[in-house]
Structure 1
Amino acid sequence: MKLVIVGAGEVGRELIKRLKRDWFITVIDEDAEKLQKIVDLLDTESMNKVVLLQGDGTSKLMLKRAGIEDAKVFAACTGDDEVNIEACKLAKEFDVPSVFAVSNSTENDELYEREDINYVDKAVATASLLERQIKSGIVTPTNIGLGQGEIVEVTVMPTSIIAGYPVGKFSSRRWKIVAIFRGSKLIIPQRNTIVKPGDKVLIVGDPKVLKYIAGLIRSGEPQFPLQFGTEELIFLPERDQNVLKDARFFFENTKLLKVSIYTCFKATSDLKNMFSSNEKKVVDLKELKLCEKEFLEEVVKDENFGLIVMSNKYKEFPLYFGIKTFPILVAEETLSPVMIAKGTTPVNKILVPVSGSFSSFRALEVGIELSILLDAKLTALYVRLNNSDEKVNYLKDKIVKFSSMYKISIDFLVRTGNPVNEFAKISKNYDLSIVGARKGRKTNWFNPYPPYHMIHRSNCSSILVCVGE
């Protein structure tokens, strides 16, 4: 695609730096020195894509020479608003589809509006960015990396979910903590490096989820499920009203931005219509030929899912023979939360089994977020094997700390017996259970891994949250 830029100053040069690999660009400026600075930016590949012309950007002849008639986009970036407005008016005469300008003075914004020119007010844009950073404590460098928000700096607050934890506990394919600034000291974190309140952490990751991760890390504000992804993925081997009911509830009551429905049958548009009430959210409907195999090998590899919802048709008995069920395979492949839907939404009561493991506390944090978002009552359950179990007091103290940190009431329930059986009995009284598990754990008849059995035995809809090995 072709872009014509009038103005080779700082804004024009920055624009070229960002777009030179993907666009054919012609730049017009009367100042030869400014054009020479652009030459210094170009490498061998982009040299063939960028044309520099010395001349008047408000001249029709010069604009024709620049190829304005073939341009898809025009940008006026000079430091003179009169020049920018005149150049944009000419670009419109040549029917350029998209015309933009930089307003150098807020007082001149009205002139751009009068001519119906899309503009960016330099002062307002800068102040707006600074305001967001001042209010949020989150700094997004715009001149590092790709400049798309893939690098952010966040100040860790006392309520942050990572405060007091080692970096290695937060394993994700979508984002990484790559540096910690503690006072005047730079720390390159190892897996066992503890993050402390007041630290500034530098995070690199997928821009689609990074801004939500930044908000979560800074203050612990509920973002579920955006720390995992922005899309809800629904898998329907057959039409299942429980799946549709639960998926729709979470799509409408959380911050999910998109839903993709994958079926193993010829679906009708009514499936899509169930989720289309909010025009700001995107709904896709697709049919799979190879069903589970295609879903696992082709669909979930994108790894940008806030929540994956599937049927309760998958039973637990393969676990006794060391064979993981389909929902567990999906959860381990993506590290996205996987819901086994039983149609027990709306959610007013949430149950989270805790054992003292990091994965169970991670599930509790998800439960806390959902409890706040949905205004639901939260219960943490510990099932001890006998009355002499000394872990009860430790867990009770942890629950109190979580409750104080997030300013939320958490009931702590203790039972004695088989963890899976007791959990199954108690789950009858709840609308949603959230189970934490560690990726890669083996399970069989002689050495069962309780979390894997719990998600199948739950008598309410359940979410499996896997953490890295």
Structure 2
Amino acid sequence: MSIALLGLGRYVEEITEIVSQFSDVIVVEKEGEKLRNFLEKEKGIENLSVVPGSATDLELWKDKINLEELEAVISFLNEEDTLTIARVLRKAFGFKGTFIFVAKERPEGKEFKELKIELVSVPDVLGNILKNLLKGQGVVKYPVGIGLRKGEVAEVLITESSPATYMRLSELRLRNVRVALIYREGSIILPRTDLRVQPNDRLLIVGEPSQIELFINMVTKGVPNFPLKWGVKGIACGVSGEEFDYVKERVKVREWIEEDCSQLKASEEVGLYLLQDERSFFGGSTVDRVFTELRSPSLILRGSHPYENILVSANTDALGFLLPNAVDFARLFGSKVFILFVTSIEKMMTKEEKELLESLKNFVERMRATENVEIKLMRKEGNPVRETLKLLKGNFNLLAVGYTPGRKSGFFSPYTPHVLARKTKLSTLLIPEVYLER
């Protein structure tokens, strides 16, 4: 198999030496001083051959190069000549191999894609190298020659001081971002949602470039990314007044859209819904609609701002989603966080309750060590709804609950998050348990 290099511009001598280590090399260049100097320097390469002439000449490809043995073509010529050659090879000769254009600037145009020309531009390569040196600082790496080269792939190192250390992958989810692989102690681990991140893990991240930057900031600097991890828009459903302005000032989204929200439509673009607490004897309540219809976070405004003290109910089946989002929300408002877990009396605690309590203790310790937030864990014994509502009558301003979309209370089967959200008089943050990847 062979590789053809078109034009003796900059870098060709170095690239010839590299490519010749694994393939025969054919250099196409017009007769002249440039070609003679090249041959003098590269005379030690045994599997190097030269085809004198113009690469745009149809006869050259027909008579002087064996296209059946040609694996790839790398062009260092100008854009116009490169497209001309690609048309000849693809359309006239049916060449199926790799065609690469090394450009001084990144060219635009549909024809490059139509002719299946891979683009390698000097600014792209230098940009990613400089990004690694200046921004990554050894913790973040951006690949040079993979995909679109627009930042849709990155590798991030989890350090001892990373806010993500010992967190489950389910707690690190962002929309349109995925942890593709984990490298740990020389081994490859396929990600699972319940897998905990360890110090010195390297995470291979793929997804939307803007969301990847959010993910990197989250796991390296602990930058709050609520509600952007869910979506870039905020929907205000018929709300107004001081509390609305208070929330808008602190929750940064790309745009706020005001709607009547007679129907709550699930949308991947929406990061947060702001809702009024409306109740109807026949039509249910705002809380009922949220639990039934929404798969994005929502905030029911009940006038209990400013949110100085937030109570997070740990009696939910959506705890993995609730806790990191509630902490992110608290950091936006400078709030203190109190996590309440109501259990059976100590002597009758189940194995699951004990394990969950231990997990909550670990979470609080991690947050204290890595996040700029005041956080405290409280345990009460008794009925979760009664004990939580009793505590909410104290010095709290907001309740945060997690829920599974579609699940509500039945007459004989109360669902604690649903009952709490309906009965509290405080503004309520509702976090759904959903998969954020598309």
TM-score after normalising by structure 2: 0.63
Q: Is 1:252 the equivalent of 2:217?
A: no
The one of 412, 427, 433 equivalent to 2:377 is 412
What SS does structure 2 have at the residue aligned with 1:430? coil
Q: Is 1:186 the equivalent of 2:188?
A: yes
Alignment of 1:141-160 (within 5 A): 141=143, 143-158=145-160, 160=162
Partner of 1:177: 179
What SS does structure 2 have at the residue aligned with 1:227? coil
The letter for the 2-side match of 1:373 is L
Q: CA deviation at 1:219?
A: 4.2
- Alpha-carbon displacement from aligned partner over 1:389-426 (angstroms, at most 9, x marks no partner): 54476344553443334364323333333212332232
The letter for the 1-side match of 2:136 is Q
CA–CA distance in 2 between the matches of 1:252 and 1:466? 24
Partner of 1:399: 364
Q: Cα distance 1:143–1:431, how it changes in 2: closer, same or farther (>3 A)?
A: farther
What SS does structure 2 have at the residue aligned with 1:178? strand
Q: Cα distance 1:193–1:326, how it changes in 2: closer, same or farther (>3 A)?
A: same
The letter for the 2-side match of 1:259 is W
CA–CA distance in 2 between the matches of 1:147 and 1:39? 25
Q: Cα distance 1:461–1:231, how it changes in 2: closer, same or farther (>3 A)?
A: same
- Alpha-carbon displacement from aligned partner over 1:336-366 (angstroms, at most 9, x marks no partner): 21111112222211111124x6733542322
- Alpha-carbon displacement from aligned partner over 1:108-153 (angstroms, at most 9, x marks no partner): xxxxxxxxxxxx8997896356312227x33344653344433332
- Alpha-carbon displacement from aligned partner over 1:426-447 (angstroms, at most 9, x marks no partner): 2243222211223454541222
Partner of 1:463: 429
Q: CA deviation at 1:453?
A: 2.0
Higher-Rg structure is 2
What SS does structure 1 have at the residue aligned with 2:425? coil
Q: Cα distance 1:184–1:426, how it changes in 2: closer, same or farther (>3 A)?
A: same
Conservation of the 8 A alpha-carbon contact between 2:337 and 2:375: yes
Partner of 1:451: 417
Q: CA deviation at 1:312?
A: 0.8
Conservation of the 8 A alpha-carbon contact between 1:314 and 1:326: no
Partner of 1:101: none
Partner of 2:112: none
Alignment of 1:274-293 (within 5 A): 291-292=262-263
Percent identical residues: 23
What SS does structure 2 have at the residue aligned with 1:421? helix
The one of 325, 330, 333 equivalent to 1:366 is 325
Partner of 1:353: 313
Q: Cα distance 1:402–1:327, how it changes in 2: closer, same or farther (>3 A)?
A: same
Conservation of the 8 A alpha-carbon contact between 2:408 and 2:418: no
TM-score after normalising by structure 1: 0.59
Partner of 2:274: 309
What SS does structure 2 have at the residue aligned with 1:180? strand
CA–CA distance in 1 between the matches of 2:281 and 2:340? 21
Alignment of 1:25-36 (within 5 A): 34-35=77-78, 36=81
What SS does structure 2 have at the residue aligned with 1:453? helix
The letter for the 2-side match of 1:368 is V
Unaligned runs of 5+ residues in structure 1 are 1-8, 11-29, 46-76, 80-103, 105-119, 265-290
Q: CA deviation at 1:463?
A: 0.8
The letter for the 2-side match of 1:212 is L
The letter for the 2-side match of 1:196 is Q
Q: Is 1:376 the equivalent of 2:378?
A: no
Q: Cα distance 1:250–1:210, how it changes in 2: closer, same or farther (>3 A)?
A: farther
Cα RMSD for the two superposed structures: 4.1
What SS does structure 1 have at the residue aligned with 2:278? coil
Unaligned runs of 5+ residues in structure 2 are 1-8, 11-53, 57-74, 92-102, 106-121
Q: Cα distance 1:253–1:192, how it changes in 2: closer, same or farther (>3 A)?
A: closer
The letter for the 2-side match of 1:370 is F
The one of 299, 304, 310 equivalent to 1:344 is 304
CA–CA distance in 1 between the matches of 2:253 and 2:334? 18
The letter for the 1-side match of 2:180 is V
Alignment coverage as a number of residue pairs: 332
Q: Cα distance 1:128–1:192, how it changes in 2: closer, same or farther (>3 A)?
A: closer
